[in-house]
Amino acid sequence: MTLVLTIDTDWAPQEATATVLDKVRALGTKVTVFFSEPSPLPYWPLLEVGAHPDLSRRSPPPDPGGPMSMATMDHDAQVLKEEGEILSQFKKAIPAADCARTHRFYWHSDLARVLSQSGFSHDSSMILPYLPGIKGFKVGRLTRWPVWASDHLHLARGFPLDRLKMPYFNEPGLKIFCFHVTYLYLNARSLADFNMIEKRLAQSGGQPQKGAGIWTLFELLAEKIALKHGGGRWLKELPESLILQNQKLKAD
């Protein structure tokens, strides 16, 4: 089993993001943080920075009323052009970012090529929740690393927050966890807490929820990683053994 911790900043206030990342830094475990807004960008030796773009910002099709309006070559080309521009802006703003994760795991069949052309070598824009035996895989020059679990799904399925009890957790395979600054900042205990995010994050000096919550889960995973993997691993340094090897087709 290989555990990897990742965090999406989304568009949390800078104060909340800084508070969470300071707490993460103090744990002394490697973490990959996907930034939606790259400035100001923090740094510490155990931090791997990634890009977290929202690729839904694109031109509408010329005929938005028709069910086939998206299925035009001209519009597809425009979508790819705009996605490439967004990704290139992220790569320019965060030159050290080799890995990307699109907001809401957005994906389409041409995106691997667009990511590669924009300078990214790794991607984590896929989630395969609680499946055993997960590995990464190659799409052209891009290596894709599927997420195994997220804080949102953990709360939705009612899994414990004070111990590491999840389906197939101790089975072999890659287990990438996706956390969000907002859930960590609030130490969310249920999905109902999500409705409090805007209010609580806006409060000056607002305190996280008491008791076991998402931050508790993050700490438990960091402790597990420290025991099993030392300082942990970043996505870009995961070994080749965790990548599926394509089998050559045998001739008839």
Fold that domain 2-65+73-242 belongs to in CATH: TIM Barrel (3.20.20)
Contacts 24+ apart (CB under 8 A), 93-97: 93/38, 93/39, 94/35, 94/38, 94/41, 94/49, 94/50, 94/51, 96/49, 97/35, 97/49, 97/50, 97/51
Can you tell me the distance from the alpha carbon of 55 to that of 47, in angstroms, rounded to the nearest whole number? 24
pTM as predicted: 0.90
What phi, psi does 82 have (nearest 5°)?
-70, -40
The pLDDT profile of the chain, 252 residues, written as one tens digit per residue, is 899 999 999 988 888 899 999 999 999 999 999 999 877 889 999 999 999 999 986 666 666 556 555 556 676 788 899 999 999 999 999 999 999 999 999 999 999 999 999 999 999 999 999 999 999 999 999 999 999 999 999 999 999 999 999 999 999 999 999 999 999 998 999 888 766 666 556 553 556 777 899 999 999 999 999 887 678 899 999 999 999 987 655 554
DSSP 93-133: H-TT--EE--GGG---TTHHHHHHHTT--EE---B-TT-TT
